[in-house]
Amino acid sequence: MKVDLFDFDLPNERIALRPVRPRDAARMLVVRGADAPFEDRGVRDLPSLLNAGDVLVFNDTRVIPAQLEGRRADGEAKIGATLHKRLDLRRWQAFVRNAKRVKEGDQIVFGGGVTAIAEARLADGSITLFFEGEEPVEVLLDRAGTMPLPPYIASKRGVDAQDLEDYQTMFAREEGAVAAPTASLHFTPRLVDAIDAAGIGRAMLTLHVGAGTFLPVKADDTDDHQMHAEFGRISAETANQLNEARAKGGRIIAVGTTSLRLLESAVDENGIIQPFAGDTAIFITPGYKLRAVDGLMTNFHLPKSTLMMLVSALMGRDRMMAAYQHAIANEYRFYSYGDSSLLLP
């Protein structure tokens, strides 16, 4: 499909630079199938919009301070690095600013005395960084890194201490993401209590979101776009919970596109979700038949993005373009710190 089919005009003022407070005070646009009217609701309405026996699936990944600034050890070139994907205990793939000034074997000195050696340059343009020393890389990043806010926020304001809290979900447990699963940013203990009281189940999986999620689609056709791989894990316990819920008539509602993509990577041809541990580079576009989920809670996405294509696969392109025009006209807040939508085909 032509990538331009997923383009739309978004006024700059619709991009949220901070989240609402409290988190569950965000608005939520409910989009149902066919010609049902759009519903302007709030995130706090979620328990009344689902049924007892449905299950919400959350991503428990934790964002690490993956944005690094430094220079080559010879002092000649400033280097910016955004970690993308862990390769082993000391190696990470990274997208590097000023990458043409870095060659294999160069030492890069970051803040806090943290150093890394540039190794292989990969086909996607990223570079492997080997972090020197004996301390765990997570400790080094706490000392030298900052939160990797999306470019559409970071280009408008600096990262500050408030982002350490704002850009982390209440479910964050497993360290390794360089972008937050932003649909879950709306949840609070109060909302979770209401969900539990309504008889709606909760399940957890882990997908370590990579920086590739921010990269624009440069191809003209979706067939020519290459997704970046990310590591995910679904336990046997979670898989069993979801399969049992569906067998009893409950719906599986992914909270965020990260949860949806991992579930669709793990489901078999019969619609049974299998345990999973490994990389996924799944690319969901219209024409893809979703087998693992019955709905999606997600924020509003970038024009011509892979995530706009994903929600169009779930609901239909025309339906989603109409929903986004409704959201823009009604002043919903877009992107990571913005409002939410509940998509129920």
pLDDT at 130: 98
Percent of the chain with pLDDT over 70: 99
Pick the closest to residue 202 from 256, 238, 244, 243 (CA basis): 238
All residues at 6 or more sequence positions from 107 whose CB lies less than 8 Å from its CB, including other chains = 72, 73, 115, 116, 117, 118, 132
Q: Examine the pLDDT at 157 and tell me if it is beyond 80.
A: yes
pLDDT at 150: 82
| Domain total in the chain | 2
Residue type, 60: D
Same domain, 231 and 185: yes
The domain that holds 337 is classified in CATH as 3.40.1780.10
Q: Examine the pLDDT at 132 and tell me if it is beyond 80.
A: yes
**Is residue 340 a contact partner of residue 298, using CB atoms and an 8 Å limit?**
yes
Q: Examine the pLDDT at 60 and tell me if it is beyond 90.
A: yes
Q: What DSSP element (H or E) covers 143?
A: helix 137-144
| Rounded Cα gap, residues 198 and 244, in angstroms | 18
Q: Examine the pLDDT at 106 and tell me if it is beyond 90.
A: yes
Same domain, 44 and 76: no
User: Tens digit of pLDDT for each residue in 14-51?
Assistant: 999 999 999 999 999 999 998 899 999 999 999 999 99
Triad 182, 10, 293: Cα angle to 5°: 40
DSSP calls for 59-110: E-EEE---EEEEEETTS--EEEEEEEEE-SSSEEEEEEETGGG--TT-EEEE
pLDDT at 214: 65
> Strand 107-110 to strand 252-255: parallel, antiparallel, or no bridges (unpaired)?
unpaired
pLDDT at 122: 85
Same domain, 231 and 337: yes
Same domain, 191 and 293: yes
pLDDT at 169: 97
Q: Examine the pLDDT at 104 and tell me if it is beyond 70.
A: yes
Last residue of a domain, one of 146, 175, 198: 146
Residues 204-219 have a mean pLDDT of 83
Averaged pLDDT score across all residues of the chain: 94
User: Tens digit of pLDDT for each residue in 174-184?
Assistant: 998 988 999 99
Same domain, 220 and 329: yes
Same domain, 274 and 241: yes
For residue 113, what are the domain limits? 67-146
The three-class DSSP label of residue 259 is: helix
The domain that holds 110 is classified in CATH as 2.40.10.240
pLDDT band, residue 149 (cuts 50/70/90): confident
Same domain, 108 and 169: no
Cross-strand partners of 252: 55
Question: Does 139 map to a domain?
Answer: yes
The three-class DSSP label of residue 202 is: strand
User: Tens digit of pLDDT for each residue in 185-202?
Assistant: 999 999 999 999 999 999
Residue with tokens 């191809």: 219
| Rounded Cα gap, residues 71 and 108, in angstroms | 6
Last residue of a domain, one of 113, 146, 179: 146
Same domain, 311 and 218: yes
Question: Does 153 map to a domain?
Answer: no
DSSP alpha helices (H): ranges in 209-337? 236-247, 257-266, 306-315, 317-329
Question: Does 325 map to a domain?
Answer: yes
Write down the pTM of the prediction: 0.92
pLDDT at 49: 98
Residue 133 CB neighbour total at 10 angstroms: 13
Residue with tokens 């970690």: 83
Pick the closest to residue 205 from 62, 86, 85, 60 (CA basis): 60
Question: Does 157 map to a domain?
Answer: no
